[in-house]
Amino acid sequence: MAMAALRREGRRFAPLIAPRPITAVRSSPIVPTHEDEGPIGVRYISTQVVRNRMKSVKNIQKITKAMKMVAASKLRAVQTKAENSRGLWQPFTALLGDLPSVDVKKNVVVTISSDKGLCGGINSTSVKISKGIYKLNSGPEKETKYVILGEKAKAQLVRDSKKDIELIITELQKNPLSYTQVSVLADEILKNVEYDALRIVFNKFHSVVSFVPTVSTVLSPEIVERESESGGKLGELDSYEVEGGETKGEILQNLAEFQFSCVMFNAVLENACSEQGARMSAMDSSSRNAGDMLDRLTLTYNRTRQASITTELIEIISGASALEG
């Protein structure tokens, strides 16, 4: 009965297909041969190609999931430090103020970025804001320089602003971040640049999926004294009286240096949190995309395999019908 059914099916499909020569050995399991071609010149993809592609996508998905877990672990460690560091610079902002719109001649833009990629667009955002600040503070009698922290900002700014880069610092997060490490870097920056205003560009961490590009301004002692004498808004500095042997200029010098190191410490930690949060989001999206691609490849593989089986059955039935006839 089974052979009779196969013969009946063969008679039904025989007019729709053209006879093809049967080759004994396929040339390669990966390169589609004559057997992979359907009727009327249609070519089917090789199942071996799809299997190899599925295997590579699975491996990529494993890597992205592992990177997400590593980023989550690093984020928990840095987030506590970042939240504690906010108490360092906030008193200075209340005392000396934060004047992003102050007009000075010598500006230094400190751009903080990451050393590694795969973390979304946080580095591109910092670079764009840094370039915007550079344009706003450019003029015939003004001078603006860059200080770069991180490989990613370096790679972007070196291309078109190489002559304006004063200092480059990389591999900042090679060791766990500490105030001692950042204060040494801040002292190095103050020794190598002349400034009236330091404008620190970084990404402030809000949540895993949210970070805000932020600019903090640290003024030189001379500009702070000038703004104070001219009636500028400088927080609560004027409400205090200076006592002791130190002059007001010396106190402002010490305050400015300590303020810069505290703001830098907080900015580096906030940017590190934003980097790990953005990397978590990017790796999560990559894992989901790999899963979707794997579903599509599985469907393609099943369709290809079924089409191949159907074609072979039709060829067997056609051969049996031809022998009968």
HEC-encoded secondary structure of 89-119: HHHHHHHHCCCCCCCCCEEEEEEECCCCCCC
Exposure of 262 in the CB half-sphere (CA atoms within 13 A): 17
- For 105, the token pair is 């001649």
pLDDT the model gives residue 239: 67
pLDDT the model gives residue 126: 94
Residue whose entry in the numeric block shows the structure tokens 């560009």 = 201
Task: Give φ, ψ of 235 to 5 degrees.
Answer: 75, -140
The pLDDT of residue 22 is above 50: no
Q: Which residue, among 102, 258, 279, has the nearest Cα to 187 in the 3D structure?
A: 258
The single-letter code of the amino acid at 175 is N
Residue whose entry in the numeric block shows the structure tokens 């979304």 = 120
Q: Are strands 197-207 and 210-219 parallel, antiparallel or unpaired?
A: antiparallel
pLDDT the model gives residue 325: 66
Tell me the pTM.
0.76
CA distance 159 to 147: 15
Q: Kindly state the DSSP code that residue 235 receives in the 8-state scheme.
A: T
Q: Compute CA distances 246 → 56, 195, 241, 276, whole Å.
A: 68, 23, 12, 44
Task: Give φ, ψ of 64 to 5 degrees.
Answer: -65, -35
For the chain, domains (ranges, CATH) are 61-231+250-285 (3.40.1380.10)
β-bridge mates for residue 108, sequence order = 145, 198
Residue whose entry in the numeric block shows the structure tokens 């191949």 = 308
CA distance 279 to 272: 11
The pLDDT of residue 272 is above 70: yes
CA distance 75 to 69: 10
Q: What is the mean pLDDT of residues 307-318?
A: 90
The pLDDT of residue 40 is above 70: no
- For 158, the token pair is 């070196």
State the average pLDDT for the chain: 82
The pLDDT of residue 27 is above 60: no
DSSP per-residue string spanning 8-35: HHHHHHGGGS---PPPSS-S-SSS--GG
The pLDDT of residue 4 is above 60: no
Sheet strand arrangement including 143-149: 165-169, 143-149, 106-112, 197-207, 210-219
